[in-house]
Structure 1
Amino acid sequence: MEDHDILDGQDISEAPQPRPQSLMLAFFGNHVLDEGEVGVYSGSIIDVLGRVGVGEQAVRSTLTRMVNRGLLRRRREGRRMFFGLTPQATRVLEDGRVRIWQQGAVNDDWDGSWTLLGFSLPDSWKRQRHDLRSRLTWSGFGALYSGLWIAPGKVDAAGIVSELGLAAHVKIFHARADEVTDIELMIRDTWDLEGIAARYVVFDKRWTAHLNAGAGDDPIGTRLRLVSEWLWTIRTDPRLPARHLPQEWPARPAQETFRRVADHTARPARRMARDLLETTPLR
């Protein structure tokens, strides 16, 4: 289980339908991450995820799968089972929180630097190659050439390759482009700008319609869908320098829509969570 597994790739021509694990992680990120070492009763989780269309059996199987993957830990009290975060899941959720709430989708502050990462792995290392590429994509890298990846700004790529045990097979550089380099052409050749833009357009249309339809009466379910879909939207966006993107880049209005819905649902969702969730310390 890696950071990118928070999301599930889908056809961007349709509104995203997050899988139960995506919604489960959004649930723990919204309502457990800041509460310390607490566990949530499985019945409470079934109740909340039922509000976004996830059935009881799917919730139970997802909880079991996430325990087996080292993302959740469980504790039995009598006939009740409680689930809490592991250090691995905490790291994944904190990384996602930085992407969502601190960095944002628009990079107006690029300093002109790039992180370059070159790697050469044995042909038989298919899983390691897949894991590395997936982590690099989540961290903002694109394939400049087959074994040379690039990301805007200074990225802690050393941490990525160290966690994957690939430090001996990777070289990392921080550099600036020579004036002969056409940065905008390089960006178009390296990243799928049309695909990235389409995700923002889909998100903005869907959630603008939600705002226009009124607040609704289920803020906790709305917020779960919102965060899951926003993570789906930004998954492949490396936060490219705004000054090198098309003038009408749709990330900015989509981000404004996301923040409007997030602000509108924050307090009501917290209040509802206090009423719905049964918790216990896991220390």
Structure 2
Amino acid sequence: MSSVCNIIVAMAAPTLKPVTTRSALLTLLLGAEVARLSTRELVAGASIVGFAEPTVRVALSRMAAAGDVVRDADGGYRLSDRLVARQRRQEEAAHPSLRDWDGTWELVAVTTAGRTASERADLRATLSELRLAELREGLWTRPANLDLTWPGVVAEVCERFTGAAPAADPAGLAARLWDLDAWAAAARRLLDATATDDPVLRFTACATSGRHLLADPVLPAALLPADWPGDALRASHVAYKQWVVDMRRSLTDAAG
């Protein structure tokens, strides 16, 4: 078994760190229904968790200087290309493209040698983002229940197959490849946090759940433990994001 399981475990144990102005603004932009928010909209949204306008303006200037956001000529802000890619991954995590599962698995074998350490690391990250896990060195797999868009690099350096489960006990294999109990326990903690009346805790839980959903392997129900909280966390995350959007609009309108 490779170190990928350890990576998944680490990703599956989110902690609710205090909300910073930067994280609040990124959460607003990542969850926005449009590509760009005005400074007024960002000030209104950040006020949900208690950040004052001067603090927001300073944070936006620093974020623009750091390349997190791009300021347009009208004074609005949009995410940098790097964070747009993150936004897309989070949207896909919240709305995975599923297909009926017939029991088959995706198998991806790395067949090209001589790549640099950086190239190998990038490929591992790409395969992990596709929710594959490494069965053994150079051989990645997952149930074929997702409509995956395969990046060009996978075709360049790998061979892909679809076939029977690479083990006699598919559910047992899934449990070995992904620490499902750890992911589920963390998801339930996030669901509890989003059910509180504390606006800062709820906001933080929403931001954290977006990252946590990236580590959900999105397995077929037949391979999951009972009472799997994946769908509940996705629904909670989407509902809270919409509430933030509605609150931001309301506060923006009230501010004139």
- Residues 200, 233 of structure 1: 8 Å contact kept: yes
> How far apart, CA to CA, are the structure 1 residues paired with 2:14 and 2:206?
19
Map 1:6-85; keep pairs closer than 5 Å. Answer: 12=13, 14-17=15-18, 23-31=24-32, 33-34=33-34, 38=36, 40-41=38-39, 45=42, 48-49=45-46, 51-52=48-49, 56=56, 57-66=58-67, 72-76=69-73, 81-85=75-79
Distance 1:222 1:122, change over 3 A: same
Structure 1 SS opposite 2:31: helix
1:192-242 CA-to-partner distances (Å, cap 9, x unmatched) read: 22321222122122122x1xx3xx7x6xx7875354122122121110111
Amino acid at match of 2:183: I
Deviation at 1:84, TM superposition (A): 2.3
Q: Which segment is superposed worse, 10-19 or 224-233? A: 10-19
Aligned with residue 98 of structure 1, among 92, 98, 103 = 92
Structure 1 SS opposite 2:142: strand
Aligned with residue 171 of structure 1, among 141, 149, 159 = 159
- Residues 109, 138 of structure 2: 8 Å contact kept: yes
Map 1:249-260; keep pairs closer than 5 Å. Answer: 249-255=228-234, 257-258=236-237
Partner of 2:7: none
Report sequence identity in percent.
Answer: 18
Map 1:116-265; keep pairs closer than 5 Å. Answer: 116-119=107-110, 125-153=116-144, 154-159=146-151, 162=152, 165=153, 167-177=155-165, 181-208=168-195, 210=196, 213=197, 225-255=204-234, 257-258=236-237, 261-262=240-241
- Residues 44, 276 of structure 1: 8 Å contact kept: no
Give me the CA root mean square deviation.
Answer: 3.9
Could you list the runs of 5+ residues in structure 1 that have no partner in the other structure? Answer: 1-8, 278-283
Distance 1:125 1:155, change over 3 A: farther
Partner of 1:281: none
What number of residue pairs does the alignment pair up?
Answer: 242
> How far apart, CA to CA, are the structure 2 residues paired with 1:151 and 1:99?
16
> How far apart, CA to CA, are the structure 2 residues paired with 1:192 and 1:272?
41
Amino acid at match of 1:34: V
Distance 1:131 1:271, change over 3 A: farther
Amino acid at match of 1:40: S
Distance 1:103 1:167, change over 3 A: closer
1:17-38 CA-to-partner distances (Å, cap 9, x unmatched) read: 577665444312333x536xx4
**TM-score, normalized by length of structure 2?**
0.72
Could you list the runs of 5+ residues in structure 2 that have no partner in the other structure? Answer: 1-9
Structure 2 SS opposite 1:93: helix
**TM-score, normalized by length of structure 1?**
0.66
Partner of 1:3: none
Structure 2 SS opposite 1:103: coil
Partner of 1:6: none
